[in-house]
Amino acid sequence: MPGRVVVITSGKGGVGKTTTTANLGAGIAMEGWRVCLVDADIGLRNLDVVMGLENRIVYDLVDVVEGRARLRQALIHDKRIENLYLLPAAQTREKDAVSPEQMKELTAALAEEFDYVLIDSPAGIEHGFRNAVAGADEALVVTTPEVAAVRDADRIIGMLEARDLRNPRLIINRIRTDMVRRGDMMDIDDIIEILAIELLGVVPDDEAVIVATNRGEPVVLQSRGRCAEAYRNLVDRFLGKDVPILNLDGQGSLLERIRSWMAMGRSNR
Amino acid sequence: MRFKGGKDGVYILFDESVDFLEALDELRRRLGVYQRFFEGGRVWIDTRGRVLSPMERRLVEEVTSQFGMEVAEVGHQEFRGRRPQAVKPLPSRQASRHEEPETALLVRGTLRSGQVVEHEGNVVILGDLNPGAIVRSTGDVIVLGHLRGVVHAGANGNRNAQVWALRLEPTQLRIADLIARSPDDEHGPDGPEIARIVDGWIQVEAYEPGAQGGG
């Protein structure tokens, strides 16, 4: 049975699509599934940098599409995690170097080899977006708790639905519980009310993500830290495990916190 | 700006005293006048000593393609057997021994992510080569700056090709058919270095004036 092709998209730039793709992919691979990350941001590739694999690129997605390399040759194996591969984007080309039909073909070929194919979409709603969603079976929408990001997410959800990518799920990134508590930031309920789609998970705003990203190491690989926890929670829920969304509120009752730790513990077996 | 017809296309000389954008406008105007005549033809463009940035080059190609013409070559020197006006080849004592490519391409300024320079012969960059930028040459590559991107020297299989840089910290280095990448966490010395193939491996050594090269 072919694997699932999942596009990670947002509309707005800078909300954390690439970081989410890297961490979700690494997390799923750590659970033993075969995962391929695809950077669909041709001309502004980043996923390779975030994964720390930039210096191993020889061939890229466009080379495969244009027949200069076979798919196997272009895939970069992430040595830290057994089942994780990356298909990098071309940096020296532009989005129109690839057509949606070619992307469909490519992702279909990858789905034969992998359990999950995660596509990191470029920002925007133009050609690059159309490429990224072309071969997808399902979509994850990333937003931050900002009015502009939520507005763009809403637009993207509409476009996904128009393309028969029904029931996209939402990831809220970079939430700051202290600001939410003061009423200075949109909270999860506000966002869900507007977007009205299923919430997959919530990731706190944390310096650890920036540090890890700059080092080229997905934060989910770390054994501790609330962001690593949040991403593992996201992974579990993505894989269909019945766990609640991580309670990020550090001020929550001790009991609640213990419960969420236990949920984490269970999901880690 | 001068036009010269050739057997299989047209040869255009940019006037070096004119601003690039003005020259581009004039090119557009001239091609418009002769549109029928040039359509489907090939064009050689000589910028007479000016090195076009990748962006400028793209602009030139855009204009010519508007008129249904294919750019055969954009160069900073006169083609077709004329004497090179730009950079002279490096003295062979310093460059690699081999069938020496005739000219060097001089790139003024930093190459940024996504920019590509391809050249038959040697390439000299007066600036940095940032990560995500690529230089492909059939000869040597010399970066008078910080080399952080990807360089492919001797791209046609010339294993004697060398890469020189004031700071050599490439994402990836390729010489002929070999590929090397920088160690993940080590930082090289602050001084200039040279990469070349020794015993079938790409090796990097510090540059000591007078000690290196083919002499």
pTM over 0.90: no
Of B115, B116, B171, the CB nearest to A54: B171
Helix (H) or strand (E) holding B180: strand B178-181
Q: Could you tell me the CA-to-CA distances from A120 to A123, A137, B87 in Å, in that order?
A: 10, 14, 44
> How far apart are the C-alpha atoms of A141 and A130, rounded to whole Å?
15
Does residue A151 surpass a pLDDT of 50? Answer: yes
**Residues B16/B27, Cβ–Cβ less than 8 Å:** no
Q: Domain count for chain A, please give it.
A: 1
Cα gap A28→A233, rounded to integer Å = 11
Residue with tokens 């997390």: A27
Does B89 map to a domain? no
Is the pLDDT confidence value at A264 over 90?
Answer: no
Q: Domain with A28 in it: what CATH number? A: 3.40.50.300
Q: Which of A52, A56, A91 sits opposite B114 (nearest CB)?
A: A91
B134, B179, B182: residue with CB nearest A92: B134
Together in a domain, B178 and B122: yes
Q: Fill in the amino acid letter for A120.
A: D
Residue B215 lies in a domain: no
Nearest CA in chain A to B179: A58
* Residue B38 sits in the same domain as residue B112: no
Q: Which helix (H) or strand (E) holds A162?
A: helix A147-162
User: Is residue B212 one of the residues assigned to a domain?
Assistant: no
What are B8-39's pLDDT values in tens digits?
566 676 666 667 777 777 777 777 766 666 66
Q: In this structure, what CATH number is given to the domain that contains residue B140?
A: 2.160.20.70
Which residues of chain A make contact with B116, given a CB cutoff of 8 A? 92
pLDDT tens per residue, range B187-199: 777 899 999 999 9
Give per-residue pLDDT as tens, A95-137.
999 999 999 999 999 999 999 999 999 999 999 999 999 999 9
- Name the domain count of chain B: 2
Same domain, B34 and B120: no
**Is residue B179, in this structure, part of any structural domain at all?**
yes
Same domain, B125 and B55: no
* Cα-based distances in Å from A136 to A72, A101, A111, A209: 20, 12, 10, 27
> Are the CB atoms for B157 and B139 separated by under 8 Å?
no
A60-85 tens-digit pLDDT:
999 999 999 999 999 999 999 999 99
Q: Is residue B93 part of a domain?
A: no
Closest residue of chain A to B183, computed from CA coordinates: A55
Mean pLDDT, residues B161-175 taken together: 96
Q: What is the domain range of residue B14?
A: 2-75
Q: Which segments of chain A are extended strands (E)?
A: 4-9, 35-39, 76-77, 84-87, 116-120, 138-143, 169-175, 198-204
What does the block give as tokens for A113? 């080899």
Q: Are B195 and B168 in contact (CB under 8 A)?
A: yes
| Residue-number span of the structural domain to which A207 is assigned | 4-267
Kindly state whether residues B40 and B110 are assigned to the same domain: no
More confident residue, B90 or B173: B173
Q: How far is the alpha carbon of B174 from chain A, nearest alpha carbon, in Å?
A: 10
